[in-house]
């Protein structure tokens, strides 16, 4: 039982989490794959005086990772990078307050402070560390207007360095739109007055307009970066780089399935590869290639590791007497496209029924059930696209990955975009498993539907 010379479970587990972290954003450029263009865009925007960056996309697509990595590349020193995660009740004032407090905490630990050689003064907010004592003269109060926020931003840049950078993460969590809009006001004013502190804001959205509802959403001080799911080569890179850390090759068929299940959401690539490597570690023999058997065994643990908030809506939609709803949910998660027309979902549904040797429902019954999946007691799993009738998407695209994982576990391999068109950098070779052929197979009519009389279609 060993992988890459690791025999001890603790040592293996500790090393594993340095390369794979399904629940923690990456902040190291060597671990960030497929985001060169995004990083370039961010770093070029940050060179310009008065410019800030707004990164948006789906949950789990890698926004925090790009924000953190870009910030760590931009900053000068360890203490020039501040990070704050927003919550429902966050406001510009509470965020600025929390940033200033972290500056104080960072510097309080400093030897210079301990030796009483250092002072921090946040001008109008009256926080002062006297040079003779490290006890604050007065606690720092929260700013109450934009001018105070501006002053705080200028003080932070002054205390840290002119290359200080702030990541404001989970910006979408802020409940009130006016609170979000104040951030845009601050960035605009900082640009006008030449305050050097940089901001990278990241949040779930399909555009900046979504989060600012029009207010200043096209200000020139903000460069926007829209993150899409990772392409195939980046997905493969994550898998292979993790394997290489343990001198382990990952069989091509396995890499393809992990990459396909993920639909380009790196969380799933990390999760599945992590479980795969544990299977390789548990192999009674010294393992050099992670094979199909390891992958199949890892699916159980991967399904079990999914967060309850993703599992719950799926269970609500599918735990029913018949499997019809489950098959329709799987059909909705088939293919690469995150937004699909009901006719395409129907094609996928028929294909899934063919795979499992069932007669599909007729189109009208299928449509009723597809529509049910939008309802609260079906976990609101799906929603319609605004202004596009017949188009559906998952209420949360991370859910899609879970659905794809569960269907894989049950033996139905949902499809992605054609990977042959992507540059391949695979080194490991393994026989292509039979089920990969299904991956490329198209649904071809005629198909018999449930309720039809035997022989009808021949008349
Ligand atoms: N480009 C990438 N390369 C490798 N791993 C990534 C990449 N982007 C994200 N990840 C991993 O995917 C998971 C989700 O990323 P995260 O940045 O937290 O997403 P988001 O902020 O969009 O919800 C994390 O485990 C992170 O380590
Ligand atoms: Mg995030």
**Length of the chain as a residue count:** 459
What is the distance between the alpha carbons of residues 18 and 151, in angstroms, rounded to a whole number?
Answer: 39
Tell me the C-alpha distance between 165 and 154, whole Å.
12
Lowest-pLDDT choice from 84-88, 126-130, 298-302? 126-130
| Per-position DSSP letters for 139-183, written without gaps between them | PPPPP-SHHHHHHHHHHHHHHS-TT-EEEEE-GGG---HHHHHHH
Report the separation in Å between the CA atom of 30 and the middle of ligand 1, taken as the mean of its atom positions. Answer: 13
Give the C-alpha separation, 435 to 451, whole Å. 29
Q: How far is CA 386 from the centre of its chain?
A: 23
Distance between CA atoms of 302 and 288, rounded to whole angstroms?
A: 21
Would you say 166 and 77 are in contact if contact means Cβ atoms under 8 Å apart?
no
What spacing in Å lies between the alpha carbon of 29 and ligand 1's midpoint?
Answer: 12
Q: Show the tokens assigned to 295.
A: 């992958």
pLDDT at 125: 58
Whether cis (ω within 30° of 0) applies to the bond prior to 435 is no
Q: Is the peptide bond before 163 cis (omega within 30 degrees of 0)?
A: no
> How many angstroms does the Cα of residue 399 sit away from the middle of ligand 1?
16
Of 329, 93, 294, 51, the closest CA to residue 194 belongs to: 51
pLDDT at residue number 122: 67
Q: Which residues line ligand 1 (CB under 6 A)?
A: 21-22, 24-26, 31-35, 59-65, 238, 266-267, 270
Task: Give the SS3 label for residue 339.
Answer: strand
3-state secondary structure of 448: coil
Output the pTM of the full model.
0.87
Kindly write down the DSSP assignment for every residue of 53-65, as one continuous string: EEEEESTTSSHHH
| pLDDT above 60 (res 316) | yes
Atom 24, ligand 1: residue with shortest CA distance: 25
- Of 291, 298, 353, nearest in space to 322 by CA: 353
Residue found by looking up tokens 């309720």 in the block: 451
- Kindly state the tokens that stand for 436: 């990969």
pLDDT of residue 430: 37
- What is the model's pLDDT at position 426? 42
CA of 234 to the centre of ligand 1 (A): 12
Q: Which ligand is closest in space to the CA of residue 60?
A: 1
> CA-CA distance, 299 to 413, in Å (whole number)?
13
Strand ordering across the sheet containing 382-384:
339-341, 391-394, 382-384
Task: Say yes or no to pLDDT of 434 above 90.
Answer: no
CB 256 within 8 A of CB 233: no
Residue 4 has pLDDT above 90, yes or no: no
User: Residue 403 Cα, ligand 2 centroid: separation in angstroms?
Assistant: 21
Going by their DSSP bridges, the two strands 198-204 and 81-85 should be labelled as: unpaired
C-alpha 27 to ligand 1 mean position (Å): 9
User: 167-200 pLDDT, tens per residue?
Assistant: 999 999 999 999 999 999 999 889 888 899 999 9
Mutation test of ligand 1: which of 172, 267, 302 has the most ligand atoms closer than 8 Å to its C-beta?
267
Q: Are 208 and 52 in contact (CB under 8 A)?
A: no
Q: What is the mean pLDDT of residues 82-93?
A: 96
CB 221, CB 50: distance < 8 Å: yes
Q: Does the pLDDT of residue 15 top 90, yes or no?
A: yes
Atom 8 of ligand 1, residue of closest alpha carbon:
62
Tokens of 61: 């697509």
Supply the pLDDT for residue 441: 41
Give the separation between CA 300 and CA 291, rounded to whole angstroms: 16
Provide the 3-class DSSP secondary structure of residue 106: helix
Whether residue 279 has pLDDT greater than 80: yes
How far apart, in whole angstroms, are the C-alpha atoms of residue 292 and residue 287?
13
Average pLDDT estimate for 228-253:
95
pLDDT on residue 123: 62
Q: What is the mean pLDDT of the chain?
A: 86
Of ligand 1's atoms, which has the minimum distance to the CA of residue 169?
A: 21
CA dist 443 → 260, 328, 390, 403 (Å): 19, 15, 20, 20
Q: Mind giving me the DSSP string for 397-410?
A: HHHHHHHHHHHHHT
pLDDT at 120: 60
**Element of type H or E holding 193:** helix 177-193
pLDDT(87) > 80: yes
What pLDDT digit, counting tens, does each position of 358-386 carry? 999 999 999 999 999 999 999 999 999 98
For the CA of 265, the closest atom of ligand 1 is 12
User: Could you give the CA distance from residue 171 to residue 189 in angstroms, rounded to a whole number?
Assistant: 19
Amino acid 213: pLDDT: 79
Ligand nearest the Cα of residue 56 is 1
């Amino acid at each position: 039982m060993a992988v890459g010379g690791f025999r001890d479970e603790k040592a293996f587990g500790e090393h594993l989490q340095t390369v794979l972290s399904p629940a923690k954003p990456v902040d190291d450029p060597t671990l960030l794959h497929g985001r060169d263009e995004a990083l370039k865009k961010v770093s070029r925007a940050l060179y310009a005086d008065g410019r800030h960056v707004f990164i948006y996309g789906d949950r789990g697509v890698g926004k925090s990772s790009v924000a953190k990595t870009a910030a760590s590349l931009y900053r000068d020193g360890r203490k020039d990078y501040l990070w704050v995660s927003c919550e429902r009740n966050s406001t510009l004032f509470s965020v600025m307050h929390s940033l200033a407090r972290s500056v104080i905490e960072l510097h309080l630990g400093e030897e210079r402070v301990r030796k009483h050689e250092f002072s921090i003064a946040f001008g109008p907010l009256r926080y002062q560390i006297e040079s003779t004592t490290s006890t604050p003269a007065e606690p720092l109060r929260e700013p109450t207007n934009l001018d105070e926020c501006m002053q705080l931003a200028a003080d932070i840049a002054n205390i840290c360095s002119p290359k200080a950078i702030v990541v404001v993460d989970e910006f979408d969590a802020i409940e009130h739109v006016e609170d979000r809009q104040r951030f845009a006001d601050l960035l605009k004013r900082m640009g006008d007055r030449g305050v050097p502190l940089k901001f990278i804001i990241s949040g779930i959205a399909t555009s900046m307009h979504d989060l600012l509802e029009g207010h200043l959403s096209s200000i020139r001080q903000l460069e926007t970066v829209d993150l899409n799911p990772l392409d195939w080569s980046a997905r493969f890179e994550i898998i292979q780089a993790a394997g290489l850390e343990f001198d382990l090759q990952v069989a091509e068929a396995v890499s393809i399935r992990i990459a396909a299940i993920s639909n380009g959401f790196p969380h799933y690539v990390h999760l599945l590869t992590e479980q795969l490597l544990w299977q390789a570690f548990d192999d009674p023999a010294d393992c050099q290639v992670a094979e199909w058997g390891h992958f199949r065994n890892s699916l159980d643990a991967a399904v079990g590791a999914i967060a309850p908030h993703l599992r719950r809506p799926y269970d609500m939609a599918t735990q029913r007497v018949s499997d019809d709803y489950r098959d329709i949910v799987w059909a909705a998660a088939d293919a690469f496209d995150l937004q699909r027309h009901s006719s395409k979902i129907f094609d996928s549904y028929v294909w899934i029924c063919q795979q499992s040797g069932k007669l599909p429902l007729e189109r009208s019954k299928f449509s009723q059930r597809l529509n049910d999946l939008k309802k609260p007691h079906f976990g609101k799993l799906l929603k319609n696209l605004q202004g596009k009738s017949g188009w559906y998407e998952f209420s949360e695209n991370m859910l899609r990955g879970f659905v794809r994982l569960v269907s894989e576990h049950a033996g139905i391999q949902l499809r992605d975009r054609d990977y042959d068109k992507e540059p391949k950098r695979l080194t490991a070779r393994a026989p292509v498993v039979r089920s990969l052929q299904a991956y490329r197979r198209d649904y071809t009519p005629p198909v018999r539907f449930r309720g039809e009389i035997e022989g009808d279609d021949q008349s």
